[in-house]
Amino acid sequence: MNLWEGILLGIIQGLTEFLPVSSSGHLVMVQSLIKGFRQPGVLFDVMLHLGTLLAVLFFLRREILDILMSLIPAGWFRNFRKDCDSVQTRTRRKMALYIVTGTAFTGVIGLSFEERIHHLFTSTTTVSFMLLITGVLLFMSDRFQGSRVERDMNIIDSVVIGIVQGISLIPGLSRSGSTIAFGIFRGLDGQTAARFSFLLSIPAILGATVLQAKYIGMVPLDDMLVYLAGMFVAAVTGFLTLRLLFFVIRKQKLSIFAYYCWFLGISTLIIKVI
C-alpha cells in the first residue's frame, strides 16, 4: 500500500464512518481492489477509526467536557463552574453511566466473537447482505418520530444501543446507522440518538486500538507513515462529515442513505455472481 492508497482509504473512512453506510464495509470492498493489500490483524482499519475518533472528540468537545465536569464532586464542581445546575449535573452523570453500561455490552460481544468477526472482513458477500440490512434500518428510522432527549434516557436505552453497537462490528452493518436507528426506535429524537451513538463509540474505538496495538511492531516504518497519513485524513474528513450528518438528521432524511446501501449491496452481489 502506497501513500496515495492510504490517503484514499482515509477519505473513505472519514466519509463513511459517520454517514450511515458502513465504513468497514467500504474499506473491505476498496481494500479488496488494492493489489497486494495486507495489514497485521486489522491495525490499519483501527488507525483509520482512531482518526475519526479524533473528529468525534473535537466535534463533541463541549458535551464530553460537561460529562467529565459532572463527575467532579459537588464541592469541587462549584469552584470550576459557577453556573452549576443540579438537574443538568444529574443528567450528565447518568449519561456517563449509560456510556459505561453500553460499552460493557459492546465489549462482551466484541471480545466473545473477535476471531469470527476478523474472518468476516474478507467476505464481500457478508458485507453486501449487511448493507441491505443497514438500508432497511435507515429506511424504517425515518418513519418514527422520537421526541425523548438526554434527560429522558434510561438504562434500557444504553443496553439496547450497546448490544447493537457490538453486533455492528460485523462489516457492512453500519455502526452509526444501526445505533442511531435503534435509538430512534426507542423514542429518542434523531440528534440525541446520534450524540449518544458517537459518545458510545469513543471507548469502543479506544478499546479496539489497545487490542490492535500489539501489531504495531510488525509494521515497517515506511508503512507506518502511510498509516498515520490515512489517520490524519480520516480525522479531517470525518469532522466535515459529522456536520453534514447532523444536518441530514434534522431534516429526517436518513432514508437517502438507505437507497445507497441497497444499491451498493445489490451491485456487489451481482458483480460477485458474474
| pLDDT > 90: percent of the chain | 41
Q: HSE of 25 in the Cβ direction (CA atoms, 13 Å)?
A: 31
Nearest to 133 by CA among 92, 180, 168, 184: 168
Query: What are the residue ranges of helices labelled H in 60-154?
Result: 61-70, 74-80, 86-112, 114-120, 124-141
pLDDT, tens digit, 9 for 90 and up, residues 148-159: 999 999 999 999
SS3 98: helix
Lowest mean pLDDT among 33-42, 166-175, 190-199, 252-261: 33-42
Which element (helix H / strand E) includes 20? none
Q: How far is CA 29 from the centre of its chain?
A: 18
Distance CA 23, CA 14 (A): 8
Nearest to 151 by CA among 89, 60, 211: 89
C-alpha cell at 9: 482509504
Nearest to 95 by CA among 146, 161, 29, 35: 161
Q: How far is CA 241 from the centre of its chain?
A: 12
SS3 40: coil
C-alpha cell at 191: 440528534
pLDDT, tens digit, 9 for 90 and up, residues 158-176: 999 999 999 988 888 888 9
SS3 79: helix
pTM of the predicted model as reported, rounded to 2 decimal places:
0.84
CA distances from 14 to 123, 140, 246 (A): 22, 25, 15
Distance CA 245, CA 29 (A): 23
Domain of 8 in residue numbering reads as 3-273
Which element (helix H / strand E) includes 45? helix 43-59
| pLDDT > 70: percent of the chain | 90
Structurally, the chain folds into a number of domains equal to: 1
Distance CA 257, CA 20 (A): 7
pLDDT, tens digit, 9 for 90 and up, residues 53-82: 899 999 999 999 989 988 887 666 555 555
Residues 6+ apart with CB under 8 A from 260: 21, 135
Distance CA 156, CA 58 (A): 28
Question: What is the pLDDT, as a whole number, of residue 180?
Answer: 95
CA distances from 236 to 10, 30, 195 (A): 9, 20, 19
Q: HSE of 11 in the Cβ direction (CA atoms, 13 Å)?
A: 6
Question: What is the pLDDT, as a whole number, of residue 155?
Answer: 96
pLDDT at 229 over 70: yes
